[in-house]
Chain A
Amino acid sequence: MLQEEVYFWKPVSSSQRLAYVLADENLTVLTHSKRLKAWGGKNSGSLIGLSLVDVFVELVGAEETLRKILAREQDSFTLSQVNRSLDDGQLLYYDLHVRPLRELGRVLLLIVNDVTERASKEQQVRQQRNELRLLNAELQARNEELDAFAHTLAHSLQNLLTPIVISADVLKQELTDVVTEEARQVTDIIARNSQRMSQVIEALLLLADARRAEIMLLPLDMASIVAEVQGRLAGMVEAGGAEMVVPATWPRAWGYAPWVEEVWENYLSNALKYGGESPRIELGATVQQDGQVRFWVRDDGPGIAPDEQVQLFIPFVRLKHANLAGHGLGLSIVRRIVEKLGGQVGVQSAPGQGSTFWFALPAAGPRSCA
């Protein structure tokens, strides 16, 4: 709050928003509108004869600018939404605009525009916006903490599990002839479940790291990526008697190949698992008008009901009919890494009509690559 010995203009009438002051080349007030009067100090009343910079302390430091305006080296000077708390607690907002008044020689015109009403509304909007930004930042910080925690936990578990996986394999191979059938079954259970646990932990690590990882986006060689994934899933394709239809060329898109491989592997393994008996799985891509390429996997399985579709990409949610082995992390990983790559994910499906899972990535250019 400004102390009382400081001069200041005081609003005399609330019906007028604009007021003016004229000052000479020495920055001394020559005249002013009646709306303004000195407030505080010994000379309460008229501003005439006072220093412009003493009355309007907002102009302290701007003296050089004011002289440039008088010398016609600068057109004008504006201070927007300057505000002061008055003694009665009222907050007054005003714009100050200084320009030369050439008709009267070397004279400055200061226009004072009371913008309190407009500024008060703007303050309310800004208040809400800033509170939202604070909440958003807090959420982001908590997410980072959770990711860091998940990363640490998964690493620790993986370190503990690795010797169990290795030991179970050794037991299976070395003790075949000397243990009972029951002991062999127990050893199998240990080996199988420790392998599965290891996969879950790997998935958790990818999920935890995706949001904070620093990666470089490059144009993708989608044909190679898909071929790599097909190779990995060859056993499943053969076991399920599946047919996989792949296009000869792909539109170019930006991405990070190791992650995009994960996306395809998730979509294709889901299609193999849930696409029905001897599924026909079609892959494709569509260049969209929004500058993205939509890559998709279509199966002819039983389809997914709308209420289940909305839960698909949420971590640890598995659908009722998804009774095959799985841990419910796959699609949530897909979503997180595709969003990190600047893309989107989704599904189109209806019961009895199969499903089309898609992910969209920023297009890299018009050229297609095989």
Chain B
Amino acid sequence: MIQKKICLVGDFAVGKTSLARRFVEGIFDDKYLSSIGANISRKVLALDGSDLTLLIWDLVGGEKFDRVIANYYRGSAGALLVCDLTRPETLDKLTGYASDFLGINPAAHLVFVGNKVDLTSERRIRDVSLAAVAERYHAPVFISSAKTGQDVQQAFETLGQHLLAGRVS
């Protein structure tokens, strides 16, 4: 069995915990509960004939990059970089998160996620803006909703496929 550590990275309140819970447990809670430290969960994916166990590190957001955060990142094979489509500043910060993460794990695979697409009337980030940021890292993009489940599974599975492909090559 292949086991990989991945991180959920992004500013506070972008929905990292909700994405993890939707993916692992299939549930969603509208109430915002801020995270501290790192919450670890696990899910086994059957991909391309292989079982891939993802150890998912849901990390505190909005903190400056320091040794504590660096140690959370260490040993990760990939990351979901998450922004909140209703808050443009969360997209602005994603390149900083990506660069810090790749500084610790240069060979890691990234997937960019614009979350909360269900909040249509409050949306302030366009697809092309997120795609432009992801393009810099040659990373795929997903427009998701932890609330409805839209593209959550696909985002994690795509990262998983990249991890498997990276392992083979």
Contacts and interface: CB of A to CB of B under 8 A. Distances in A.
B34 A83 contact: no
B40 A127 contact: no
B38 A79 contact: yes
A131 B74 contact: no
Contacts of A364: none
A119 B37 contact: yes
Contacts of A126: 34, 36, 60
A137 B89 CA distance: 9
Contact of B75 (A1, A6, A64): A64
Interface in A282-317: none
Interface in B104-139: 124
7 contacts: A79-B72, A80-B68, A85-B41, A123-B35, A130-B13, A137-B87, A137-B89
B45 to A, nearest CB: 13
Contacts of A93: 36-37
A77 B42 CA distance: 23
A130 B40 CA distance: 21
A133 interface: yes
A62 interface: yes
A60 B38 contact: no
B37 A81 contact: yes
A77 B40 CA distance: 18
A78 B74 CA distance: 11
Which of B12, B34, B41, B87 counts the most chain A CB atoms within 10 A? B34
Given A61-B74, A78-B68, A130-B32, 7 more contacts: A1-B41, A57-B42, A64-B75, A82-B37, A83-B40, A126-B60, A141-B124
Contact of A2 (B13, B40, B77): B40
Interface in B75-106: 75-77, 87, 89
A327 interface: no
A65 B25 contact: no
Interface in B1-60: 3, 5, 12-13, 24-25, 32-42, 55, 60
B77 to A, nearest CB: 7
Contacts of A130: 12-13, 32, 34, 62
B71 interface: yes
Contacts of A57: 40, 42, 55
Interface residues of B, number: 30
A62 B74 contact: yes
Interface string A182-221: 0000000000000000000000000000000000000000
Nearest to A126: B34
A48 to B, nearest CB: 22
Contacts of B38: 79, 81-83
A7 B124 CA distance: 44
Nearest to A127: B34
Contact of B3 (A3, A60, A79): A60
Given A57-B42, A60-B5, A134 B37 contact: no
A25 interface: no
A85 B25 CA distance: 12
B68 A85 contact: no
A75 interface: no
A73 interface: no
A222 to B, nearest CB: 36
A230 to B, nearest CB: 43
A1 B71 CA distance: 22
A127 B61 CA distance: 12
B36 A119 contact: yes
A122 B63 CA distance: 14
A84 interface: yes
A58 B58 CA distance: 12
Contacts of B42: 2-3, 6, 57
Interface in A29-83: 57-58, 60-65, 77-83
A362 B143 CA distance: 45
A65 B70 CA distance: 13
Nearest to B87: A137
A137 B14 CA distance: 13
A223 B151 CA distance: 63
B159 to A, nearest CB: 15
A63 to B, nearest CB: 8
Given A81-B36, A122-B36, A133-B62, A60 B41 contact: no
Contacts of B34: 123, 126-127, 130-131
Contacts of B13: 130, 134
Interface string A108-130: 00000000000100110011001
B43 to A, nearest CB: 8
A64 B75 CA distance: 8
Contacts of B60: 81, 126
A1 B24 contact: yes
